Structure 1
C-alpha cells in the first residue's frame, strides 16, 4: 500500500445494518488518534441503503458513503488528529457494499483520481476475503450456539427426569403417611364420643387438640401431594370467610401442651367479639403455627410466648413475640432463605392481612429498635 499510495494511517471498517453505523475493525500506522483509547470507533450512517449501494470511492471525507453529517464529523476528527487528506474505497461483498477501507496523510491535497483507482483495486481484491471471514465467524458462532442448545436440552431432560422421580417419591411417601394418620384420627374420634363416660372434660379437650393437630398434619401431607402445582405456580388458595379470633384461640390451645413441655408460658391476648376475614384459613393457620413453633423451639426454658391480634376496617394484624435472641439486621436480610437461622435482637414476628386474600409476613418495627422486614 505504501509503495503505491501516500498513506500514514489506514483503517478498515465494516458496516452494521442493525445499528446503522460502520465500526473500525483494524487500524494500521500513523499518529495516535483521539478516539484510539476508546477502542472501536463507530461512525453513524444516515442511510444504510445508500451506503450499501455505493460502488465508487471518494477523495475527501466520504459524504456519499456516510452522509453529510457523518462526513463533516469525520473531517473534524481527522484534521484534529493531524491528517489533512483522506480517501475512501468501498469493500463490496456480492452486490452490496459491506465496509470501507480508508487512508489518510498529513499532507494537504495529497490524493488524485489515480490514487483512488489504486485504492479501489486493492479494496476489490481484499473485500472477498473479508466477507468470507465474516461468514466464517457467523458459522462458528452458529455452531457454538447449536452445541450449547444441545447441552441445554440434555440438561433440561435430565432435570425433568429428576423432577419426575422426586414427584413419585413424594407421592408414595405421602400416601404411606396418610394410612397411619387416618387410623389415628378414627381412634381419636371414637375416644372423643366418650360412650363409657370415663373421660373427664380436660381429657376430652386434649383429644380435641389432638384432632386439630391431626387435621393440620393431614393438610401438610396434602401439601406434599400438591407440590408440583406449587412449583409450577398454579396452586390456588381457597378463599373463605372465617372468624380470625376463633382461629387464633384454637391455635393457642393447640400449642399449650408443647409450651408446657418446654417449661414455657403462652399468653393469648385477643379482643372480645369476632372479626371476619376473607382468606385461606388453612394457610393462615399454617403460617401462624410455624411462627409459634419457632418461638417454642428457640425462646428457651421459662420464656413467655405472646400471641396478639388487632383488627381495623382493612387490616388484621397478628403478632407472635417471645423472649428469645431474635434477629439482627444480617438475619433479617436472609430471613426468607431456606433453613436459615440467626439473629441477636428481641424477637417479634408479625403477620398482617389486608382486605381480600392478600397478606404478608414481616418483622414489625417497635420503639426498641426491632428490624422491619416485609415480604
Structure 2
C-alpha cells in the first residue's frame, strides 16, 4: 500500500498529504478549484488539532496569521452592547484560506488543480480513477476529503440525500474589505430566527448571515444567483446595519452560501475508498469542522502507517478512534445553534441575560 489519491486540497486533504509523506506514502491531491481556495471565513484550530499543527511545525505561522478577536458581543437595533462572552484564549482563529495555504505549503504531494474525479472502479488490488481532465490513474487507496458535497462519497457510497441532514439553518458569508471594526471584537445582531455577525478578520472584515428555514426545494449549492436571492428575501426589512450589508451582497465575488448540515454514514469506508473531514462527518457550525479535519487526517495517516499491509484494519482503526471526537460535536450542533440563532424574542432575551450573568460571575471570581 503506497499510492494514495486525496480528493480535496483543503484543510483535511493537505494535512493528510503532509502526514502520508512523512510515513513514506506517495500522495496525489486533486482539487476542483483552479488554485488554493480563497475563502476568508474564520475557522478555529483547537484542542487535538493544535497538537497536530505543533507536531507539523506550523504552529508559529498559524499564530502569526491568527485574528486578534477576544470577545463576541451581542448588539441591539442601535448597535448597543446587550450581552456577550469572551472567546476561549487557547483557540487559534484564522481565515480558512490562510489555514489551508499554510497546511498545503507544509505538505509534499503532487497537486492536480482544476480537476475532479468522475469515476471510481475498485478491485481487491486497487482503485482505477477517471478524472475530468487528467489521464486515468490507479491508486492503492482513494480518500474523499472533498467536503459536505463530496464527489467521492457520491460515487462510492450513493446520492448525498441519503447521508445529509438539513438542520433547519442556512448560512452565508461574504468578505467586506471596507468594513472597519474593533480587531478584538465580533458583533452579533439577532432577530427571531435570524443572526448577522460582523467579524474584523485580519485586516479584511466580513459578514456572516444565518437564518432558520426548511430545506429550500431545488437548492443548488453552486448557484450564486439563487443564493443572493435567498439572502435578500430572508433579511428583507432587517434593522441595525443589515440594509447596508445587503446592498453590498450583489457585488460580492466570494459569497459562500450553504445549508447547515450534519453528515451521517454507517461506515466511512468501502473497500479501498474512505472519507475524511466534512465528507464523513460534517458539523458545519462554530468552526469545529477545521479542528476535526486536522485531527482526523493525522489519525488516518497514523492508522495507515500502523497497518501498512492491511488497509481494512487501518480504516477500521481510524474510524473507531476518530468517531470519539465527531459524535459529541454532532450531538451538540443543534443546541448550539439555538444559542447562536434563537427562534423567538424570548429566546434572544434569555440568551443575552444568561451571558450577562456569566460575565458578572466571571468578573466576581477574578476580583
**TM more than 0.5:** no
Coarse TM-score class (shorter-chain normalised): under 0.3
More helix by percentage: 1
Bigger radius of gyration among the two: 1
